[in-house]
Amino acid sequence: MDWLERCIPDPDHFLRTQWRQGPVLLRPDNPPTEVLTPDDLGELIDAGHLRTPYAGLFTAAGAVPEDRYCPPRIVAGRPLHGCLDPQRVRDLIRDENATLQLRYLNHWYPKVRELADGLGERLERLTEVFMFYSQPQRRGPVHRDDGDILVLQLAGAKHWQVYAGPTDASWQPVREEDPGPVLLDTVVRAGELLYVPNGYAHTAWATDEGPSLHLTVTLREAGAGHLRAQLASVLAEGLELPARPLDEADLTRTAADLLGHLGARLAATTPAELVAAARRSAFSSRPAA
């Protein structure tokens, strides 16, 4: 199955004219909404297997303290912490308009893992997936994500406002107080996808039509740190030097051998190869905001 074609009506056109160039609303013919349905989410909640930090609840005031929905359990005579209590979760959603976030579904939910793996392979990016179950008018802060995102609306509808990308290469994936003019103001409905390029500020809220269920597929990009780490790996490949040269002449020869090796490795490495290797090795444990 080509997951990219299920998410994007014309992948070649998208990659040529829209990728990294601005936000766009997508309406594929066969969107993969079956990877997580509202009924699936209900079963996940009621099964009682959800645990932090893979799951969490948020209100307008911020993160809900875990002790409000994760009472300790006794399993095989031992205390087990961080397990979400189904009834407390539902009470917080109903009474306090809480948003339920499931993190890194690609780690532990097979259907979503298939989607993430397929998109990651086609786009050559590390792919991570987060779920948001939001109540009407629950608005999130304006923020920037560290990666391109594909928002797959599974149920309900969500109103999105997307602003311009960062102008400084030292930007951080944090809340944005002054994002500038809105580039795209749209409602994303079930079966539609929204593409937001890396670092473009955005905010969203569920419409009055009812609760919103969506996946945020985050396509991570390599940064300067990944390039430096990969370059160190490239330069060290095949390097064998004596640990303790015997005298000054031996030390000088060792230095010359080191410089020669580094020069040869640098000469054999192109910027495109370094970027590709950095993307393969890039990783992140930071969830989308």
Give the model's pLDDT for residue 288: 44
Portion of the chain with pLDDT greater than 90, in percent? 69
In sequence order, what E strands does the chain have?
24-26, 55-59, 62-63, 73-75, 78-80, 99-102, 126-134, 148-155, 157-163, 182-189, 193-196, 202-206, 212-220
- 88 exposure class (CB count in 10 Å sphere: 0-12, 13-18, 19+): middle
Structure tokens at 98: 């809480």
Q: What pLDDT sits at residue 285?
A: 43
Task: Give the model's pLDDT for residue 149.
Answer: 96
Distance between CA atoms of 199 and 208, rounded to whole angstroms? 28
Q: What is the dihedral of CA 78, 82, 88, 89, to 10 degrees?
A: -150
Residue 286 pLDDT > 70, yes or no? no
Decide if pLDDT at 124 tops 70: yes
| Prediction pTM value | 0.85
Closest CA to 41 of 116, 93, 115, 97: 93
pLDDT at 283: 56
Q: Are 46 and 65 in contact (CB under 8 A)?
A: no
Query: In the 8-state DSSP scheme, what is residue 67?
Result: G
DSSP conformational letter for 60 = T
Report pLDDT for 220: 87
Helix (H, G, I), strand (E, B) or coil at 22: coil
pLDDT single digits (tens) 139-188 = 888 999 989 999 999 999 999 999 998 888 777 887 888 888 999 999 99
DSSP 165-176: PPSSTT--SSB-
For the domain made up of 3-220, the CATH class stated in words is mainly beta
| pLDDT one-digit tens code per residue, 75-115 | 999 999 999 999 999 999 999 999 999 999 999 999 999 99
Cβ-count burial of 262 within 10 angstroms (0-12 exposed, 13-18 middle, 19+ buried)? middle
pLDDT of residue 43 exceeding 70:
yes
CATH 2.60.120.650 range(s) for the chain read 3-220
Asked if pLDDT for residue 33 goes beyond 90, the answer is: yes
pLDDT digits (tens, 9 = 90+) for 242-268: 888 888 999 999 999 899 998 999 898
